[in-house]
Chains A and B, each alone.
Chain A
């Protein structure tokens, strides 16, 4: 072996060692990055459970807020407000979202289908605070006052893209043979869609609703100037009063949705900015309730969707 060949061999050997070292370092860095991302996750969840767990009690769920300086009190108004706003936004977002998804799933390459996909992408990227401004401009300003209804509309717009996209994905997973079988039996397109495709995709669609609802329940920004907040919001009291005055059910519903309402994230935001320790303690408790609610919906719906998709893909 000449000196030259020796040099080349040595060079190659050292290059290989360096390349192996770079490979090892970079690959372990990717693992490290993954660990790094999990640190804040466990830190936040652990700390919120630790802090919130100390201040949570039964009164927290069953009482309205007390005036400052008084001990105790709860966030019943926010819990009820969250429920009312979530129900309203589901009512506004789900029917149009599902119907639009039927179109998107069946005609993905028509101009309307492409436009629809683009629109859902864009709306899902619009900052939630801008959607709050929009809802303020189209609902609060014409009506002249803040209301749970306006909050419901704002969160509905936030939910809409998720509803459309998940429903569309689920409809596309339904095997073609089912659809063709139904059409071959002479069922009309709408009949096929509603009584064959929809039930077949239902589990996945429900999961999409749950995911979008969990997003809607955690949103604060669009509610700041639509639902505004309301310390005295008590659906039970409104209904009782309405029944006592012999109002119709529509009048009672109108009274429930037509006034400002609180929601859990809104309360959390307001309490966290106040300089009173008891308010800050309550904000940790609210954070715990909110986080458990949202993580629970998320985990359950994801478990459901993975098992469902596995079955559909067979």
Chain B
């Protein structure tokens, strides 16, 4: 029997024939191709974490967990090769949480207005305008923030906050002065972040509201509730996990925002806890120093900050998606027409 005969479809084994049937049409290569590409996309996610981990052996072994711990007199000293990340972690957390506290009520209000109240003709243009806010590049926010927003809004506001809250014990630590003349401060960063994350939270909350079935609204109206009572006591609890997801996604964006924050936060490693003083964030120290890192340990320390940032956003995103999915799964079919 020649080799050619074994390729004859009539004589080949059944599995070979089915293989041939599939590959003859090109379906098998096609399926492998699209699976391969899907795996490639997944690989990117895994590779980011692994690669950053592999790039930081020296920083991790030299500093251990102390790198991330709270200290009052943290040092970031490229000359003596001593690095502690606490001031950046604090700066990132405090600006993001302050931004979140301001952005959540505003975003929820906008989402309610867009989904429940606004006349149909206004809805589309307003949606677009809010989404345009998300499309403006981060550096443009930074430029505007640096030359317009800081002197016009942040500096006077900082002064007012200092006068009003600076003397209260405990709380006063977060509003200690003096406010820098330029206005460059954590407060400025938090306000810019508020503007930047509002569209994100709004868009998701609006989608959540729109996915809540009309029967909920009708039932609450039939029981005599006003529209606001319906929104607050019926729709809000109904979509709660979805709204939480939106908030967490907004937090994730705030944590990773780089350019605008770097331009307005003042970039200083002070020991002060105050919102009104200049600070630093994890993303902005990487942006400022990585390209000019002076030693291997310096660049590894910056990489490790990036790694921490990656894990923080990974955790937050997984949590948020889980919450949003739960809402979407609960009411997929009976969405409002």
Given A30-B113, A47-B144, A221-B259, answer yes or no on A100-B34 (Cβ-Cβ < 8 Å): yes
Q: Complex: how many Å from CA A214 to CA B258?
A: 18
> Which residues in A have their C-beta under 8 angstroms from that of B140?
44, 48, 218, 268, 287, 290-291
> Which residues in B have their C-beta under 8 angstroms from that of A45?
136
Is the pair A37, B110 in contact by a Cβ cutoff of 8 Å? yes
Is the pair A48, B309 in contact by a Cβ cutoff of 8 Å? no
Is the pair A134, B51 in contact by a Cβ cutoff of 8 Å? yes
> Which residues in B have their C-beta under 8 angstroms from that of A32?
109
Q: Which of A100, A214, A228, A291 contacts B41 (CB 8 A)?
A: A100
Q: Scoring A residues 8 to 37 as 1 if CB is less than 8 Å from chain B, else 0, what string do you get?
A: 000000000001101100110111111011
With both beta carbons as reference points, the residue of chain A lying nearest to B31 in the complex is identified as A189
A138 touches B (CB below 8 Å): yes
Is the pair B110, A228 in contact by a Cβ cutoff of 8 Å? no
Q: B5 CB to closest chain A CB, in angstroms? A: 27
> Which residues in A have their C-beta under 8 angstroms from that of B303?
133, 137
> Which residues in A have their C-beta under 8 angstroms from that of B137?
217-220, 265, 290-291, 294
Q: Scoring A residues 88 to 127 as 1 if CB is less than 8 Å from chain B, else 0, what string do you get?
A: 0000000111011011100000001101101111110111
> Which residues in B have their C-beta under 8 angstroms from that of A259?
none
B98 touches A (CB below 8 Å): no
- A29, A125, A272, most chain B CB atoms within 10 A: A125
Is the pair A41, B37 in contact by a Cβ cutoff of 8 Å? no
Given A31-B113, A160-B41, A193-B30, answer yes or no on A20-B226 (Cβ-Cβ < 8 Å): yes
Q: Complex: how many Å from CA A47 to CA B136?
A: 13
Q: Complex: how many Å from CA A230 to CA B143?
A: 21
With both beta carbons as reference points, the residue of chain A lying nearest to B257 in the complex is identified as A127
Is the pair B42, A272 in contact by a Cβ cutoff of 8 Å? no
With both beta carbons as reference points, the residue of chain A lying nearest to B248 in the complex is identified as A125
Is the pair B41, A23 in contact by a Cβ cutoff of 8 Å? no
Q: A28 CB to closest chain B CB, in angstroms? A: 9
Is the pair A40, B195 in contact by a Cβ cutoff of 8 Å? yes
Q: Scoring B residues 279 to 302 as 1 if CB is less than 8 Å from chain A, else 0, what string do you get?
A: 000010011001100000000001
Q: Could you tell me which residues of chain B, from 56 to 107, have a CB within 8 Å of some CB in chain A?
A: 105-107
Is the pair B52, A129 in contact by a Cβ cutoff of 8 Å? no
Q: Could you tell me which residues of chain B, from 118 to 138, have a CB within 8 Å of some CB in chain A?
A: 118, 124, 126, 128-133, 135-138
Q: Could you tell me which residues of chain B, from 140 to 169, have a CB within 8 Å of some CB in chain A?
A: 140-144, 146-148
Is the pair A33, B109 in contact by a Cβ cutoff of 8 Å? yes
Q: Complex: how many Å from CA A228 to CA B103?
A: 33
Q: Complex: how many Å from CA A113 to CA B38?
A: 8
B219 touches A (CB below 8 Å): no
- B35, B141, B199, most chain A CB atoms within 10 A: B35
Q: B248 CB to closest chain A CB, in angstroms? A: 10
Q: Complex: how many Å from CA A110 to CA B306?
A: 32
> Which residues in A have their C-beta under 8 angstroms from that of B198?
37
Q: Which of B52, B133, B263, B321 contacts A40 (CB 8 A)?
A: B133
- A30, A112, A121, A218, most chain B CB atoms within 10 A: A30
Q: B303 CB to closest chain A CB, in angstroms? A: 6
> Which residues in A have their C-beta under 8 angstroms from that of B25?
188-191
Q: B326 CB to closest chain A CB, in angstroms? A: 14
Q: Tell me the dominant secondary structure on chain A's binding face.
A: helix
Is the pair B138, A99 in contact by a Cβ cutoff of 8 Å? no
Is the pair B143, A283 in contact by a Cβ cutoff of 8 Å? yes
Is the pair A37, B117 in contact by a Cβ cutoff of 8 Å? no
Is the pair B133, A41 in contact by a Cβ cutoff of 8 Å? yes
> Which residues in A have their C-beta under 8 angstroms from that of B252?
125
Q: Scoring B residues 299 to 332 as 1 if CB is less than 8 Å from chain A, else 0, what string do you get?
A: 0001100100110011011101100000000000
B39 touches A (CB below 8 Å): yes
- A29, A119, A191, A302, most chain B CB atoms within 10 A: A119
> Which residues in A have their C-beta under 8 angstroms from that of B226?
19-20, 22-23
Is the pair B227, A190 in contact by a Cβ cutoff of 8 Å? no
Q: Complex: how many Å from CA A44 to CA B260?
A: 13
Given A36-B106, A103-B38, answer yes or no on A130-B52 (Cβ-Cβ < 8 Å): yes
B171 touches A (CB below 8 Å): no
**B-binding residues in A (CB < 8 A):** 19-20, 22-23, 26-27, 29-34, 36-38, 40-41, 43-45, 47-48, 95-97, 99-100, 102-104, 112-113, 115-116, 118-123, 125-131, 133-134, 136-138, 157, 160, 164, 188-191, 193, 214-215, 217-221, 224-225, 228, 265, 268-269, 272-273, 280, 283-284, 287, 290-291, 294-295, 298-299, 302, 306
**A-binding residues in B (CB < 8 A):** 25-27, 29-31, 33-35, 37-42, 44-45, 47-48, 51-52, 55, 105-107, 109-110, 112-114, 117-118, 124, 126, 128-133, 135-144, 146-148, 195, 198-199, 202, 226-229, 231-232, 249, 252-253, 255-259, 263, 283, 286-287, 290-291, 302-303, 306, 309-310, 313-314, 316-318, 320-321
17 more CB-based (< 8 A) A-B contacts, given A27-B227, A96-B41, A136-B290? A19-B226, A37-B198, A40-B133, A95-B37, A103-B35, A116-B41, A122-B318, A125-B253, A126-B314, A157-B44, A160-B44, A164-B41, A189-B27, A190-B25, A218-B136, A218-B140, A290-B137
